[in-house]
Amino acid sequence: MYVMKHRLLTLGLSFSLLFAGVISFGQIKEEKAVQVKADSDSYWSTISESAIASGEETLFNALNKKIRGDVKVVGYSSLYENYKYTDYVPGKNLVWDMYGGFQYLPSKNTGNYKKPGDMYNREHSIPQSWFSEHSPMKSDIGHVLPTDGKINGVRSNYPFGEVDVVGTGDYNNYSFGSQTDGDGNIIQTAGYSKLGTPKKINDVSIKYSKNTVFEPDDQYKGDFARICLYFATCYPKEADDTAEAQTFYKTSGFPYLTEYGVALCLKWHHQDPVSVKETSRNDGMQTVQKNRNPYIDHPEWVDAIWNPNPGELTGIEVVSPKTTYYQGDSFAKPKVNALYDSGKKVDVTNSASFSGFDSSTLGNKTIEVTYEDFKTSYDITVIEKPYITSVSLTTPPSKLEYTVGETINRTGMVVTASISDGTTANVSSGCTLTPSKLTTIGEVTVNVTYQDFEAGSFIVTVSEEPEPTRILQSIELTRMPTKTTYNVGETFDPTGLQIIAHYVDSEETEDVSDLVTFDVTTFEYASDKYPVFATYTENGISDRAIFRVKVVGSAPTKSGCGGNIATTSIVLASISLAGIAILIISTTIRKKKNEK
């Protein structure tokens, strides 16, 4: 979850309505985030405080009428598109998964489930089999979330719970890493999901013959508890009589949850308070289907409905307050729990009042916290915000030789900032290099700056860009030698021959006639088609062309041609050493009938 928890909204016994400011959330259109606005303040204004206080109406029934009357679910196939309103990771345009800890591209919703991370799908936090896949529950985005496909399969339709002994199946104990938002802030700590035999919850056992539960990570348990309570409030009589459904829900009457369901939801609700993720999702949910989860906006309503008599209030406690502030910082409200003689703790953060904070001046301050008739306090210190005093180039980049047109490679460069509090920081990635692209031949001085500080400089050597290495593709014989008839023993004469070289990915050609070598020096036997190979090599790549000439003499011929064909027979070919025939030219001249 977000490391900074969203402030909780508290109604209290007087049901005074307090509302948080609207949290904007990202909608995606062509992979771009667009603000979604929702007004939680006006949404709950129809809940009658006086009717509830007088007993004319119960809070549960008032919430049921409100959210069930407003819900207008989208089609099941449209959920993927609408997750762009409810489940986008801030600043990253990725879908947020709470089972496997992944952040998914919104389009990664098709594929297979071979391993975690392959794809995500639509997960019913309250399994479809618990309500026979009926609408509107099937498409209610309030409980149908994007989750990793593989871990969703591991969860199956098992109820939520806390695992005592992990099962032996693959991924029954799946660990995942931390995640950040678009600004690099940690919004998810490393965690796990588990499947196995259940523990008791506050001495309450689950009544389930399969004896298997699914446990999400601690940072998401409150989310799922409030989702389960939303379902019980919106659809109190919709659960089936399956064994799985009856572990959690009962439709015969209030509280519409089993003893185990109440115990688990209360424990997880108090253990994991409402986060920014949930409030943002609630805004998106209202945009998509016109209703909200009441227990996200008003977490105190959970105890007001399912735990109305926690006992006698004995005191309050402040949980993990921020104790060091920089001058000018805003106040970070800590969590405040009300303590009861029953041992229960109730989050009353937004019903508590805080005084004594002032960050305009330096020094020690005391923050006083008040809830009903109880007070407590804690101390904070306001210190001067550290600032940079100097910046220096500690180590120049590793690469100092370049060719014209290249950009400076920062690898190996270390730039260190000295801070007023005596610490140092590596600020290499935020430095500016001038010039960054090299356009001048010779030695070039590169200046390094960070913000308004000069860090130093280093010298690089810039040389002219070398000619690109040509890659020979083939050679082509475009003109035969002048002499094409020889006697046995005569020396080959290449005069007049022309060979052109062709290159890969280039229209450039070159006449390489004077650079080729031949496999023939003198002709050793008579033949009408004596083969001559011409070979050309460039940058380690060779190709050759073959052509044929006529050789006459007293020596026996090794090949010939019968009939009245060919006093002159010339075959031109260019054959790639890779075995590809590039060009074959064949010219045949017929004899006249009276010619010998």
Contacts of 449 (CB under 8 A, 6+ apart): 391, 431, 432, 434, 455
Taking 60 as the threshold, does the pLDDT of residue 105 lie above it? yes
Query: pLDDT tens, 133-166?
Result: 999 999 999 999 999 999 999 999 999 999 999 9
Alpha-carbon distances of 595 from 167, 486, 550, 553, rounded to whole Å: 98, 20, 18, 19
Beta-bridge partners for 476: 500
Taking 80 as the threshold, does the pLDDT of residue 46 lie above it? yes
Given a contact cutoff of 8 angstroms between Cβ atoms, the answer to whether 218 and 210 are in contact is no
DSSP 166-188: E-SSTTSEEEE--EE-TTS-EEE
Given a contact cutoff of 8 angstroms between Cβ atoms, the answer to whether 397 and 412 are in contact is yes
Taking 80 as the threshold, does the pLDDT of residue 92 lie above it? yes
Q: pLDDT class for 113, splitting at 50, 70, 90?
A: confident
SS3 category, 367: strand
Alpha-carbon distances of 329 from 186, 350, 361, rounded to whole Å: 20, 20, 11
Give me the pLDDT at residue 322, please.
Answer: 96
SS3 category, 196: strand
DSSP-derived letter for residue 46 is G
Give me the pLDDT at residue 37, please.
Answer: 62
User: What are the domain boundaries of the chain?
Assistant: 25-306, 313-383, 388-463, 472-590
Query: pLDDT tens, 358-410?
Result: 999 999 999 999 999 999 999 999 999 999 999 999 999 999 999 999 999 99
Query: pLDDT tens, 53-62?
Result: 888 899 999 9
Alpha-carbon distances of 4 from 211, 273, 340, 371, 467, rounded to whole Å: 36, 11, 27, 22, 57
Mean pLDDT over 164-185 rounds to: 93
**What's the CATH number for 472-590?**
2.60.40.3630
Sheet with strand 509-511: strands edge to edge = 472-479, 498-503, 509-511
Query: Chain-centre distance of CA 120, in angstroms?
Result: 12
Dist CA 422 CA 541 (whole Å): 62
Taking 60 as the threshold, does the pLDDT of residue 190 lie above it? yes
Given a contact cutoff of 8 angstroms between Cβ atoms, the answer to whether 364 and 356 are in contact is no
Query: pLDDT tens, 434-475?
Result: 999 999 999 999 999 999 999 999 999 999 987 778 899 999
SS3 category, 5: coil
DSSP 231-297: HHHHSTT---S-HHHHTTB--SSTT-B-HHHHHHHHHHHHHS---HHHHHHHHHHHHHHS---HHHH
Taking 50 as the threshold, does the pLDDT of residue 333 lie above it? yes
Query: pLDDT tens, 272-326?
Result: 999 999 999 999 999 999 999 999 999 989 999 998 887 889 999 999 999 999 9
Give me the pLDDT at residue 555, please.
Answer: 55
Nearest to 408 by CA among 379, 444, 380: 444
Given a contact cutoff of 8 angstroms between Cβ atoms, the answer to whether 53 and 32 are in contact is no
Cis peptide bond prior to 466, omega within 30° of 0: no
Dist CA 35 CA 41 (whole Å): 18
Query: Chain-centre distance of CA 95, in angstroms?
Result: 8
SS3 category, 227: helix
Given a contact cutoff of 8 angstroms between Cβ atoms, the answer to whether 47 and 61 are in contact is no
Contacts of 67 (CB under 8 A, 6+ apart): 230, 233, 234, 291, 292, 293, 294
Q: pLDDT class for 35, splitting at 50, 70, 90?
A: very low
- Tell me which fold the domain 313-383 belongs to: Immunoglobulin-like (2.60.40)
Contacts of 552 (CB under 8 A, 6+ apart): 485, 486, 487, 488, 526
Neighbours of 61 (CB within 10 A): 14
Mean pLDDT for all residues in the chain? 86
Q: pLDDT class for 52, splitting at 50, 70, 90?
A: confident
Taking 70 as the threshold, does the pLDDT of residue 568 lie above it? no
**What's the CATH number for 388-463?**
2.60.40.3630
Taking 70 as the threshold, does the pLDDT of residue 556 lie above it? no
DSSP-derived letter for residue 248 is T
DSSP-derived letter for residue 200 is P
The two domains 313-383 and 388-463 share their CATH topology (first three levels equal): yes
Q: pLDDT class for 267, splitting at 50, 70, 90?
A: very high
Query: pLDDT tens, 523-542?
Result: 999 999 999 999 999 999 99
